[in-house]
């Protein structure tokens, strides 16, 4: 059996990390699936999905780490072509990836004690993002 849903999220722009745990767990619970998987995907090439421990230290560390991996001020070819200044955003989102899949067991999403699914906004402006959820199983 397959179930689908969407989460609409307004972001504050670059570095915004949004905890999706309650929305994902509520969705999975509503499906009645006891064993399977939940796929979490964000549409767009300047946002990403991952898991972190959603706590103040990492909420500061994560954007700092991304700045080191793909610095904002590098000379990106994307910026030369499009002039939108968000070449770094595309690179950061590509490094992290647009999706994760988490197990469902005994009717609940399986996550570690300190592990939360999050949307990572990499773009240099505020955005409205749609996160697509697909649960499959029995």
Alpha-carbon radius of gyration of the chain: 16
SS3 label, residue 55? coil
The label of the residue with tokens 């560390």 reads 61
* Cα 33 from Cα 1, distance rounded (Å): 8
SS3 label, residue 73? coil
pLDDT for 71-88, tens place per residue?
999 999 999 999 999 999
Set out the domains of the chain in order of their start, with CATH numbers.
2-137 (2.60.120.460)
Tell me the pLDDT of the chain averaged across its residues: 97
Report pTM.
Answer: 0.96
SS3 label, residue 124? coil
Question: Contact 52/118 with Cβ under 8 angstroms?
Answer: yes
The pLDDT assigned to 52 comes to: 97
SS3 label, residue 127? coil
pLDDT for 39-64, tens place per residue?
999 999 999 999 999 999 999 999 99
């Amino acid at each position: 059996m397959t179930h689908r849903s969407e989460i609409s999220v307004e972001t504050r722009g670059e570095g915004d990390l949004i905890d999706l745990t309650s929305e994902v767990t509520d969705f999975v619970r509503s499906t009645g699936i006891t064993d399977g998987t939940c796929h979490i995907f964000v549409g767009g090439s300047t946002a990403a999905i991952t898991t972190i421990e959603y706590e103040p230290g990492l909420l500061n560390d994560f954007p700092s780490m991304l700045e080191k991996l793909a610095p904002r001020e590098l000379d990106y070819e994307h910026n030369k072509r499009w002039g939108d200044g968000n070449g770094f955003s595309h690179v950061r989102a590509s490094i992290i990836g647009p999706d994760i899949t988490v197990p469902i067991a005994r009717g609940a999403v399986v996550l570690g004690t300190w592990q939360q699914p999050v949307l990572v906004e990499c773009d240099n402006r505020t955005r409205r993002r749609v996160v697509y959820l697909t649960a499959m199983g029995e």
